[in-house]
Structure 1
Amino acid sequence: MPLRNWIMLIVLGFIWGGAFLFAKVAVAEIPPFVLVFFRVAIACLVLLAILRLRGLLRHLKTQHALAFLTMGFLNNAVPFSLLFLGQTQIGAGLASILNATTPVFTVIVASLLTRQESLQAHRVAGVVLGVAGVAIMLSGSLSGLATDPLWAQLCCLGAATSYACAATFARRFKSLPPQVAATGQLMGSSLIMLPVALATSSGWSLGDASATAWLNVVALGVVATAFAYLIYFRLLSEAGATNASLVTLIVPASALFFGWLILGEKLGPLQLGGFAVLLIGLVVLDGRVLRRIGARPV
């Protein structure tokens, strides 16, 4: 992969890792569902402006409305809501680690629902290691050794499962330009989250959040969603889906670093151990390292 693509991959990993930090700061002052609405609505407006500049608005057709709503529900509304709910109680680093299980759940969902994922030995091993890593991370809360609420961690795992369902559903958008699909799903999720935000914002007003919180909201919408989607789709087109998937390994590491540096977050031994097992599982699931080792002459 060329140096340009490696730079894009690392930048994307740090942006999406930073998203967990932005959310952690903002959700302390803004109700979770309201925060989700602002994130998707801001990103939608930015991408609509970009589509207009590029002459791609004509591809947003009403015939795709139901598919956009479904994709917005699975890829934005549900996972963002669950992650922000979880982050009201757990740190940015732990949330990002639990969300890094998305490739594991993607293999499981694709195998069960579409049977399009070939369950090769390395994929089975990667899934088993991923599940084992999650079990280790959750064991502290289950045994009382950790104070992080179990429900908040399960919310993050639920978000990963929703992302996995979205990845399977997204195959039907192959005929659309990627930026159009991203904009369409953000339009769908904005429509879904508007009534939810209004219904859950009772007693809260825009003036209740500080300037710092609003800056993090803008960062979530513009940088971590709209700008990140543009980088991701460029990376997909230039480096392919397999190379783009490496961002999964960078996001939790960058979120852990930002959480430690800026918020002073720390993980317990079980959480770090589970993260290590999960990372090994993701590498095994990817399969490239194993193929290179197997290809070396003896």
Structure 2
Amino acid sequence: MATLTHDRAAVSNRLRSGLLCAALSAAAFGLSGPLARGLIDAGWSPAAVVIVRVLLGALVLLPVAARQLRGDWNLLRRNAALLAGYGLLAVATAQLAYFNAVAHMDVAVALLIEYTAPIAVVVWLWLRHNQKPGRATVLGAVIGVTGLILVLDLNSGTATSGVGITWALGAMVGAAAYFILSAHAGDQVPGTVLATGGLLVGGLGILAAGLIGIVPLHATTNSVAFQGFIVDWWAPLLALGVITAAVSYVTGIAATRLLGSRLASFAALGEVLAAILFSWALLGQVPAPIQLLGGALILIGVVVVRLGEPADDPLASDTPLS
């Protein structure tokens, strides 16, 4: 009996710790869009913001990754394709497209569009691997698409644009790639090693694209204005790198290991709420009522899709995205 009580207490503590880590991760990721929008409004290009964010995050995580790697450099060589794909698609494409989206539309709207990614992954697995979704999955997809249509209502009074929608859909593709590539990581690549390698590859890839003129690359030392206060340019950059990259990945990995990928993926939806709250506090952006309804439908649709997937969900991942 004493052993059973001890086991229940351990499970309870594990759940509590996991949910706390998941909440911290979601809050950290949700802060990235509003901080990036402030820098973009101050004269930074989205590519420059992404480069600083991901490379600074990689620098913070590098000592932890090196400790996990334990000198096994062959592990990196054997998984070079995974690290490159993760960095270029799950990191570079997702973040660059998301930050470009928030330059043209409200943060919450861009994030809600990006969060249709789980539905896109289900469609990909159906078409590519013949993993036909069940009725609950189809229902969730229909609910999510209906919500997306409401979120994109151009008569709602919230700032949207065709360019912003296109970038947000690109972020959705990057997010979908994140889930797909993470499913192939298995236990071969430790979570922090995958995150650090992906951040390094993604940051250096965007830097190379900027240096040869593929994407605009410019920055300023202008002060950054938020709702009701102004800060020096370096403050949001430091927060982007340390909090929204390094801290968010570390706590996200911890949450996944404590809760399991399935429960952690539900908890990660808190990022949408965090982004809405931070956008309201820092930028004064509040979605219109019809878009709030659409956002709720998107989240409900994603949850229904998750519930409709089998227990051995191939989309298990080690870290969350934004």
CA shift for structure 1 position 57: 5.0
Q: Given residue 283 of structure 1, which amino acid in structure 2 is its aligned partner?
A: V
Letter paired with 1:162: G
1:229/1:146 CA distance change after superposition, 3 Å:
closer
For 1:100-111, list aligned pairs within 5 A: 100-111=115-126
Higher mean Cα deviation, 94-103 or 229-238?
A: 94-103
Displacement of 1:287: 2.0
Which structure has greater helix proportion? Answer: 1
Aligned to 1:296: none
Q: Name the residue aligned to 1:42.
A: 56
Q: 1:87, CA displacement in angstroms? A: 0.9
Q: How many residues end up aligned between the 2 structures?
A: 284
- Is structure 2 residue 26 aligned with structure 1 residue 6? no
CA 1:52–1:248 in structure 2 vs 1: closer, same or farther (change >3 Å)? Answer: closer
1:170 Cα offset (Å)? 2.5
The answer to whether 1:127 aligns with 2:141 is yes
Quickly say closer, same or farther: Cα 1:55–1:159, change in 2 above 3 A.
closer
TM-score by length of 1: 0.86
144-153 or 127-136: bigger deviation: 144-153
Describe the shift of the 1:62–1:287 C-alpha distance in structure 2 as closer, same or farther (beyond 3 A).
closer
Pick one of 278, 284, 288 that aligns with 1:264.
Answer: 284
CA deviations over 1:34-84 (Å, ceiling 9, x no partner): 111111111111121222345545355233323211111111111111111
Match in the other structure for 1:177: 190
User: 85-94 vs 46-55, which deviates more?
Assistant: 46-55
Structure 1: runs of 5 or more not aligned:
289-298
Assess if the C-alpha contact under 8 Å between 1:83 and 1:159 holds in 2.
Answer: yes
CA distance in 2, matches of 1:287, 1:55: 35
1:244: which partner in 2?
264
Structure 2 CA distance for partners of 1:93 and 1:57, relative to 1, 3 Å: farther
What's 2:76 paired with?
Answer: 61
* Shift, 1:3, TM fit: 1.4
Partner Cα distance (1:180, 1:75) in 2: 15
Cα 1:190–1:243 shift into 2, 3 Å: same
Q: Which amino acid aligns with 1:274?
A: G
* Distance in 1 of aligned mates of 2:266 and 2:301: 13
Residue 94 (structure 2) pairs with residue 79 (structure 1): yes
Mapped contact 2:109–2:151 kept (Cα < 8 A): no
- The worse-fitting range, judged by mean Cα deviation, of 27-36 and 213-222 is 213-222
What does 1:143-158 align with in structure 2 at a 5 Å threshold? 147-158=159-170
| Maintained 8 Å contact 1:20/1:95 | no
Q: Secondary structure at the match of 2:103?
A: coil
CA change 1:103–1:201 in 2 (3 A) is: closer
Q: Does the 8 A contact of 1:71 with 1:169 survive in 2? A: yes
* 1:137 and 2:151 are equivalent in the alignment: yes
TM, length-normalised to structure 2? 0.80
Supply the AA of the counterpart residue of 2:148.
Answer: V
Kept in 1, the 8 Å contact 2:156–2:288? The answer is no
What is the identity percentage for the equivalent residue pairs of Structure 1 and Structure 2?
Answer: 24
Contact 2:28–2:247 under 8 Å retained in 1 = no
Equivalent residues of 1:37, 1:197 under 8 A apart: no
